[in-house]
Structures are given as C-alpha cells and as structure tokens.
Amino acid sequence: MDAALRLRIFSVLAFAIFVSMLGLGIIVPVLPLYAKNLGANGVWLGAIFAGFAISRSVFMPFVGRLSDKTGRKSFISTGLFLYGLSCLGFIFADDYITLFCVRILQGFCSAMIVPIAQAYVGEISPPDREGSYMGQFNVAIFCGMGFGPFLGGFIHDYAGMNADFIIMGLLCGVSFLLVVAFLPSVKNEPALHKAEPLAYGALLRLRQVQGILWFRFINAFLRGSVMSFLPILGSAMLGLSGIQIGFAVSTGVLVTSFLQYPCGRLADRLNRKTLLLTGNLLYACALALFPLAPNFWWLLAISFFSGVLAAVPLPAATALIVEEGKKYGMGSLIALFNVAMSLGLGGGPLVCGLVYDAFGLSYVFYFTTILGIIGTVYIGRLLHASRQKSPAAGRGMAELEP
C-alpha cells in the first residue's frame, strides 16, 4: 500500500475515533444521574450500564466476520450515523426502560465502530510495525475516554444535561462525515483482497489466540475492578473529596494512554510475548499497593505507577492479535479481542463485589493481584505452547490445542 494512502487512512480513523470516544465519554458523569431522575433503582442502573456491554459483546463477532467479507467503511460509517441518531433517545426518554433500550441500541452501534476501525488499522499496518500502529491508535481511544468525562461535567454544569447528549450526537456526526468523505471506497479496502477468514471455532482452538484472549480478559478484569473500587477506597479509607478521587482515577487512565505509542514502538523492537507477560505480571502486583496508601499523594503516586505498568502489555497484545488477524481474518479476531475485554470489564466488578461483601475492601485489591499472577502464568503456558507447531494439515491448523 502507498505510504500516503496508509497515512490518510490512519489519520482519518484515529481522529474520527478520538472524536467519537470523546462523545461517548461525555455522558459518563451524567448518565447515572439522568437514570435516577427517571426513576431507576440500583438494579436498573446496573442494567443500563451492563446492557451496553452485553449488546456490544453479542454483536461484535457477527459484525467482525461480515466486515472481513464485505468491507469496513460501511460498518464504521453506519455505526457512527446510528450512534449519533440514538442520542435523541436520551433527550426524549421518559422512563428508565426507554433509557435501557437506547443503551442496547448504542451497544449494537458501538460494535460497528471501534473494533472495526481497529481491524482496519491492523490491516494497513506494515509488517513488524503493528505495535507502533496499534499503540498510536490506542492513544486516540484512551484520550477520548479520558477527556470525555471532564468535558461532560463542564458542559453539564454550564449548559445542562441535554446539552451533553446533543454534543455527543454532534461529535458522532462529525466522525461520520470524516469517514464518509476521506476513507477509501469499500471496493478499494485491503481486507477484501484477503483469503476467506477462518471460522470462529477454529480460531478459538489456536493456542496463540487463546493466550492473547485470556490476557485481554484478565487485564480488563483487573482494570474494571480497580476503576470500580478505587473511588470507594479513596472515600471510605482515606476520606478524599470527589475531585481528589477523580484526579487519582483519571491519572492512571491518562498515563496509560500517553504511553501507548512509545510502548508500541517497544513492542516492535523487543519480544512481544515477553512484554505482554512481564507487563501484566507487574501491573497485577502493583494493585496490591493501593490499600497500603496512607494519603492522597501516595494513592496518586500508585495510580501513576500502575498506569505506567498497564501501558506496557496492551500494544504488544494488540500487535500479536494483528499478526494473527492478517493470517486468519482481521475483523473476526479483533472482534474476539474486544469481546474478551468487555467480558473482563463486566465480570471484574461483579466478582470483586462479592469479594468486597465477604472479606472487605482491601481484599478486593489483594484478590486481583493473586488472580493476575495466576492468570499470567496460565497465559504464558498457552503462548509457549503455541510455539509447538502441530503437524496437522490445512490452513490455520497449526498451533491447535490437542
């Protein structure tokens, strides 16, 4: 592919996804308040948030497989257009059940946006530069997620809640226009010139794929647990204000986002499996430090330190999944990668909630550390076994689990 065309595709996708993720992040601080104003109890509040993740997880494998066969631009543009329209549902919702339905629709739309854009970037990344490309793209995703809530809170305070929903829709509309105007037409997409993607059953029997997906699940499990219980720790154990808690939580996310590109370049120079395993192991160990923080500044330092460690394994993992995607179907594997993330983000807070009720707040962080260490050992065994090539014949039959 021509270097200028590759740069154009990457720039459009990165900027469009940053803008759309900024829009998605805008409603994070106001959605719980809005749902409560509509009469939602605790169960429905959880359902409104979980509905998005569940819907996204259900539809991603289907959308990813179709994008391998029919092209990616049409899915990304359709998803952005429908997401923008769905924002009207927030404004006109008159009860929490309608709000739940809107979130289900948005989960479906989301399945067509970020995972498919990631697959497109993976498709155009040059050999041995997958880490750099995916690392840069992760910066756009994380920065949108990180800055969106700040912008949403500001808009809410000065313009009202409906303004958040309107601006989210407008930002998705801007992203839609960028994709339609500047991405190559579907018939020119590189994905359409590849061989038939491997079936999901065969993909899930590949040891390399198993190891990467288990990493994504466990890493997201750890991150989701920390994001859910760190505010409680800051409030209950240290007596911090809302601003201090928000600053401590955001610091870890933003540090991780800013380090995605340098860590991606590192993944192109060093052994990716080693970076994945080492980074995930150290990140898991760092989580046990949170309950030991005696004050805000120590908590902030631990959040910063854990954010640095969390940045190391993700570009290596995305580079590894892109390598497999180039062989077996980029959209299909990126979809599975994101499903594993969604399951981890949803399962982490749920399981750790049970740990919290049974043993106390500190044990939530100790539990995640133990789980992370055990999980990393298991991931290492899978990735090591993937080097043992099976003599089985046929495309995609190497590295199969016996």
DSSP for 180-241?
Answer: HHHSPPGGG-GGGGSPPPPPHHHHTTBHHHHHHHHHHHHHHHHHHHHHHHHHHHHHHTT---
Q: Are 83 and 172 within one domain? A: yes
Contact indicator for 80, 179 with CB cutoff of 8 Å:
yes
pTM of the model: 0.79
pLDDT single digits (tens) 194-240: 556 788 888 889 999 999 999 999 999 998 888 778 877 888 888 88
Give burial (CB, 10 Å; 0-12/13-18/19+) of 269. Answer: exposed
Compute the distance between CA of residue 72 and CA of residue 64 in angstroms, rounded to an integer: 9
Q: Do residues 113 and 20 lie in contact, with contact meaning Cβ atoms separated by under 8 Å?
A: yes
- What contacts 65, CB < 8 A, 6 or more positions away? 197, 200, 329, 331, 332, 335
Beta strands in 88-164 (DSSP E): none
Give the DSSP letter of residue 126: P
What is the domain extent for residue 53?
1-194
Note the pLDDT of residue 276.
96
State which of 168, 194, 220 marks the end of a domain.
Answer: 194
Distance CA 355, CA 314 (A): 27
Residue ranges in the chain modelled with pLDDT below 50: 193, 389-402
Residue 283 and residue 260 in one domain: yes
Q: Would you state the pLDDT for residue 186?
A: 58
Q: Which of 165, 194, 223 lies at the terminal end of a domain, its last residue? A: 194
Q: What distance separates the 2 farthest-apart alpha carbons in the chain? A: 65
Structure token digits, residue 401: 């689990």
- 384 and 250 inside one domain: yes
Are 171 and 293 found together in one domain?
no
168 and 226 share one domain: no
205: tokens are: 């029997």
Q: What is the structure's pLDDT at 308?
A: 95
Q: Please tell me the predicted confidence (pLDDT) of residue 191.
A: 56
pLDDT of amino acid 328: 87
pLDDT at 396: 44
Question: 108: domain CATH number?
Answer: 1.20.1250.20
pLDDT, the chain, mean: 84
Q: Are 186 and 315 within one domain? A: no
In this structure, the answer to whether residues 157 and 254 fall within a common structural domain is no
402's CB contacts (< 8 A; 6+ apart) are 390
Q: Are residues 149 and 216 in the same domain?
A: no
| Total tally of structural domains belonging to the chain | 2
Considering the domain architecture, whether residues 65 and 207 belong to the same structural domain is answered as no
- Position 386 scores a pLDDT of 64
Q: Which residue has the tokens 């190559």?
A: 184
72 & 119 share domain: yes
203 shares its domain with 186: no
DSSP state of 290: G
Spatial CA neighbour of 34 closest among 48, 21, 50, 52: 48
How many angstroms from the chain centroid is the CA of residue 86? 21
- Final residue before a domain boundary, out of 194, 214, 237: 194
Task: Say whether 95 sits in a helix, a strand or coil.
Answer: coil
Contacts of 102 (CB under 8 A, 6+ apart): 86, 89, 90, 93
Residues 68 and 203 in one domain: no
Of 10, 274, 290, 275, the closest CA to residue 136 belongs to: 10
Q: Coil, strand, or helix at residue 400?
A: strand
Q: Within 10 A of 218 (CB to CB), how many other CB atoms are there?
A: 23
- How many whole angstroms separate alpha carbon 20 and alpha carbon 167? 11
